[in-house]
Structure 1
Amino acid sequence: MFRMRVSAISLLVLFFAGFAHAKIDEDGFEPENIIQRDVVIVGGGASGTYAAVRLREDLNTSITNTTLEYGVQSYMHYGPTVSFFERFGIEFGPFTSRRLTTINVDVETGKRLDYTPPAANETTEALRKWLQFVEKYNDLVEPGFWNFPPPDQIPAVFLTPFGEFVQHQKIEAAVPRIVTISGVGVGSLQILPTLQVVQAFGLAVTKGVVEGTFIQPKTSNSLLYQRAYELLKEDVRLNSTIHETERDHSGVRIVVKSGSDTAKTLIKAKRALWTPFPSQYNLKPFGQDEKEFQVFRSWVPEWSYVGVASIPCIPENSSIQYLPREVEPSNHLAIRHYPHSLSLGTTGPSGLDLFRVMLGANYSVTYEEAEEMVTSGVQKLIAAGTLNYTGHCEVDMKALSAHNGVLWPRQDDTLEHGFVQELYSLQGYRSTWWTGRSWCEEYSSNVWAFTDTVLERLLKTLE
């Protein structure tokens, strides 16, 4: 945790919902619809909420932000995680997972696969080797890439295709655990630069797995955000639509419309903190200039959904893993050799036939298509005789949430042309700072630790 003495800083948190287009004309706003602040935070997810709490509660600032867990399951004992929970009086304890019987099936047919996953001791040994590797280079990537070397000094191993690295280091047994936890590499795991796997599964998460130090709230993950909102709600604009943005070295102006408000509001701030993922769609109303566009234009979209479904035809305490046929008999590196991944695992109270749904894809998937992929996946199990069940199985999707985002561009020469340096040169540029999972490892604990480093730098520009 950093500590700074600063004069009172005011900020506004926008729970970003979308955008439209309009033209800023300050004369067209009534005085009560013009807000002046020092910092405006765009986005109210893990990084936006954390940043707002830290700025107001720890840095003398003022701002004008029974359950069933199917998204985040646990947290690492890393960075500010424990203190953030304690701040809101949320008790936590060791993470415990339900023991499930895994059934590996062909993603195309639903038939059982003759796939033998690595033994537990093999997995642990391989993860220990991976731990040694990521520990060696940790200061280059955690928290964030502030210390990443220039192109001519990048460790060659970072540019090595992950498949080659795994085979050379003989750590194939670590691959199933890495991809199951991180979701990295759908459709392209073997050819990804090793750095991108490091970014998805670095030191903090590897230590958490090897040492068994993950933690979880004793009540609900959502309680953290409920209490944060109660703290910040006078200064939060829910469901805000950004209509136009002007940014330069002197500050930012953002026109928004929030919730059921009939009038638009002009926000004038000295600094902006952007926390959503930087897709071209999200950034349209944020007034990119050519420098920013060149950095963000080639990022790769990813589609990911998590949810809960009632599936009465799958035995309780089961986990269905849909895998490509190439994994037989024990080709662990092929586990992501397919354009999408799907798993269904028993969750929730016993007897309710509830399953946690995890779906990832390297192509566009809508909510409706995601539901259909789950339903058809279940019917494949029945048609193939994998389940002792006949007829149509009614899949009832209780909840489904998109975790879509964008990833760094994957061209082989991207890093060698200074991508990381160009990306981080945007920090503070045009009075704008950036945080969130696109800038570091995507786990909440890592995002919070990285956000601290951003806030420290942002506040120095306001002294």
Structure 2
Amino acid sequence: MRGLASSIFFAVSAVATIVPNKTLQKDVIILGGGASGTYAAVRLREDYGKDVVVIEARTLLGGNVNTYNDPVTNTAINYGVEAYIDYGPAKDFFARFDVPTQPVVEYVQSVGSTVYVDAASGTVLPNISAPPVKADQLAALQTYLTVVEQYTPYLLPGYWNFPSGDDIPADMLLPWGDFEAKYGVQDMYPIQDLIDGGASPNTTTLYAMMNFNEPVVSGYLNGTMFDPLPFNNSILYGRAQELLGEDVLFSSQVINATRDDSGVSVLVQDDAGATTLITAPRLLVAFQPTAANVAPLALDGAENAVFSTFSSSVLWVGVVRSNFIPDNTAVTFIPGADAPPYTVEIGWSGTSGLSEIFFAGAGYTEDEGKQAVVDAFLLLVSAGTFAPPEGEEAVAEVVAFTDHTGLGFDQSVEMLQQGFIQQMYALQGQRSTWWTGALWCPGYSSNVWAFTDTILPQLLQGLD
């Protein structure tokens, strides 16, 4: 306890003008209430009997799980996480909260047609090649599965066993386009696009495999992916929220932290300005280690050397209500030389009049992003690509819009060979701090839960 008392002193000294409204002492502090943070909190408290607290910036748990409850149709639109892999503890976690499951909904009700338009004008591009027939897509995917499954020990449940130097398989270091050509699997791209958004030809194959790994591919081919019943992904997190109760501090962020080998202390502030000083022997960081998120943690040189090399992907997801996008239709905007400095993708939500959207545009505020999305929708009307019902004005309204900005791998092949992933994983346990979440393993919820299960026993060592 002497070390924790020392940590309290330094944390308070660092922000001497702030006198905390409350102090707490816990076994484990968890930063972030997304998939990994929620799962860790439930397991640590319920299965290991530890005293935990979750610090969550938003007003609810779930992270990238986002649900829009449409008041017109009384339908839940899952516009964040849309499906689960039957891998690791996934189904057990749903069963724990008495949430039934069903065969995957999203990929069954896939898009009937995709319209390709010029991003600047909104007009239809007539010369876009039709995708391969479904039989050819599936054959290519089956071939890919025979290749990727041999690399599963390097990818799952995390990158603990990933090699370095000349021991890295040559396939994993190829540009993705070269890998596809080598094995003749180019025809699988529509399925890959549907599941994970696809990969550019220059992407290092390892990074494509992280998102398109064996459980994902076999789950698609074998029909074992699943969804909750009813199809509302927020039910699981709502029940976890009820269970954890006051052990979650919502609308709260860390403003200062002290970490060393004797323990950690964090000063937390909520939206109303109230502060809480929390001390614990262990810290579990379960949010994305973006520069903004980790700034209060006072990273050391080793941590900075790792996290500064990741790229930030600016992404917003949402739902738009319109009266002119046909049902069962997606729209892909193809950028040309005069394209706007952002990307919009329109997908079918499964509910008439509602489209799921993706918006990527660095430097845009939330309001600017929403307006850019509306402009892209209305561009399709002014170009004559779609039209509202006769006698009606075109309407496009963003009814849900959520930030999914995060970090992604794009380190060079040379960095991988020099042991970057080993350098990254060496951070685990340093300064009484452990890390989990989508950066540390393939980013699907099922993978994240399985990876978290590898972290918890290590985190608990020496914690009586």
Which segment is superposed worse, 37-46 or 314-323? Answer: 314-323
Q: TM-score, normalised by structure 2?
A: 0.85
Q: TM-score, normalised by structure 1?
A: 0.85
Pair 1:74-2:83 in alignment: yes
Aligned to 2:140: 126
Aligned to 1:346: 348
Q: Secondary structure at the match of 1:112?
A: coil
Aligned to 1:181: 195
Q: Is the 8 A contact 1:249 1:431 kept in 2?
A: yes
Q: Secondary structure at the match of 1:400?
A: strand
Q: Is the 8 A contact 1:102 1:319 kept in 2?
A: yes
Gaps of 5+ in 1: 1-20, 327-336
List aligned pairs for 1:55-454, cutoff 5 A.
Answer: 55-63=44-52, 66=74, 67-97=76-106, 98-108=109-119, 109-113=121-125, 114=127, 115-185=129-199, 189-219=200-230, 220-260=232-272, 262=274, 264-324=275-335, 341-347=343-349, 349-350=351-352, 353-360=353-360, 363-388=362-387, 393-454=394-455
Which segment is superposed worse, 96-105 or 122-131? Answer: 96-105
Alpha-carbon offset, residue 240 of structure 1:
1.4
Note the alpha carbon deviations across 1:400-451, whole angstroms, 9 max, x for none.
1111101123334221221101100000011100000011111111111111
Q: Is the 8 A contact 1:22 1:243 kept in 2?
A: no
Q: Is the 8 A contact 2:36 2:286 kept in 1?
A: yes
Q: Is the 8 A contact 2:289 2:307 kept in 1?
A: yes
Q: 1:35 to 1:122 in 2, by over 3 A?
A: same
Q: Secondary structure at the match of 2:257?
A: strand
Aligned to 1:334: none
For the residues of structure 2 that align with 1:64 and 1:100, how far apart are their CA atoms? 42
Identity %: 36
Which amino acid counterpart does residue 78 of structure 1 have in structure 2?
Answer: Y
Q: 1:257 to 1:128 in 2, by over 3 A?
A: same
Q: 1:383 to 1:167 in 2, by over 3 A?
A: farther
Aligned length: 425
For the residues of structure 1 that align with 2:96 and 2:249, how far apart are their CA atoms? 23
Alpha-carbon offset, residue 376 of structure 1:
2.6
For the residues of structure 2 that align with 1:323 and 1:420, how far apart are their CA atoms? 35
Which amino acid counterpart does residue 50 of structure 2 have in structure 1?
Answer: T
Q: 1:137 to 1:348 in 2, by over 3 A?
A: closer
For the residues of structure 1 that align with 2:37 and 2:104, how far apart are their CA atoms? 25
For the residues of structure 1 that align with 2:138 and 2:355, how far apart are their CA atoms? 27
Q: Is the 8 A contact 2:155 2:162 kept in 1?
A: yes
Aligned to 1:37: 26
For the residues of structure 2 that align with 1:198 and 1:287, how far apart are their CA atoms? 33
Q: Secondary structure at the match of 2:395?
A: coil
Which segment is superposed worse, 309-318 or 444-453? Answer: 309-318
Q: Is the 8 A contact 2:164 2:419 kept in 1?
A: yes
For the residues of structure 1 that align with 2:294 and 2:449, how far apart are their CA atoms? 22
Q: Is the 8 A contact 1:24 1:255 kept in 2?
A: no
Which segment is superposed worse, 216-225 or 388-397? Answer: 388-397
Alpha-carbon offset, residue 101 of structure 1:
2.7
Q: Is the 8 A contact 2:387 2:394 kept in 1?
A: no
For the residues of structure 2 that align with 1:407 and 1:151, how far apart are their CA atoms? 22
Q: Is the 8 A contact 1:255 1:267 kept in 2?
A: yes
For the residues of structure 2 that align with 1:75 and 1:50, how far apart are their CA atoms? 15
